[in-house]
């Protein structure tokens, strides 16, 4: 699945469900991030990169894997921008690219057990089914 820069930007924005232009670049999200020191890019920069269409640069960054998905950035944002949603959307876009899947949908049933939370199963199907 090959996308041009603008299409990839639109996919990430649509998946996140947030308008990156709502961000006023205050940095409160980054100030709340417990992984701040470990990240190449910070939450407020994720939003700026999406807005600028720098999705491939973001997808190639280790920062998308350093994000803890703790949503501290979401809680601190006065405009409801949700930087973590953009990171999740970039992760999904990367996973869904041809050859990038680490898990195929047909492999999931063999990995199920009684201790696995239902949320993990639903999340796996959502992430790996497209």
Domain ranges across the chain? 5-99, 103-130
pLDDT of residue 5: 66
What pLDDT, on a 0 to 100 scale, did the predictor assign at position 92?
86
Tell me if the pTM is above 0.75. Answer: no
State the burial class of residue 42 (Cβ atoms within 10 Å of its Cβ: 0-12, 13-18, 19+): buried
Q: What is the pLDDT of residues 11-29, one digit of tens each?
A: 999 999 999 999 999 999 9
**Is the alpha carbon torsion for 100, 105, 111, 115 positive or negative?**
positive
**Which residues are within 8 A (CB) of 102 and not within 5 positions of it... i.e. 6 or more apart?**
95
Confidence of residue 76 (pLDDT cuts 50, 70, 90): very high
The CATH architecture one would assign to domain 5-99 is Orthogonal Bundle (1.10)
């Amino acid at each position: 699945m090959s996308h041009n820069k603008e299409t990839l930007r639109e996919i990430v924005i649509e998946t996140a469900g947030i308008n990156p232009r709502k961000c006023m670049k205050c940095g409160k999200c980054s100030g709340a991030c417990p992984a701040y020191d470990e990240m190449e890019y910070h939450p407020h920069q994720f939003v700026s990169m999406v807005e600028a269409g720098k999705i491939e640069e973001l997808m190639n960054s280790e920062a998308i894997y350093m994000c803890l998905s703790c949503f501290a950035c979401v809680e601190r944002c006065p405009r409801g921008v949700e930087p973590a949603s953009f990171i999740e959307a970039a992760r999904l876009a990367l996973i869904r690219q041809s050859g990038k899947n680490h898990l195929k949908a047909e492999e999931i049933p063999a990995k199920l057990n009684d201790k696995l939370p239902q949320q993990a199963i639903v999340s796996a199907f959502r992430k790996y089914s497209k």
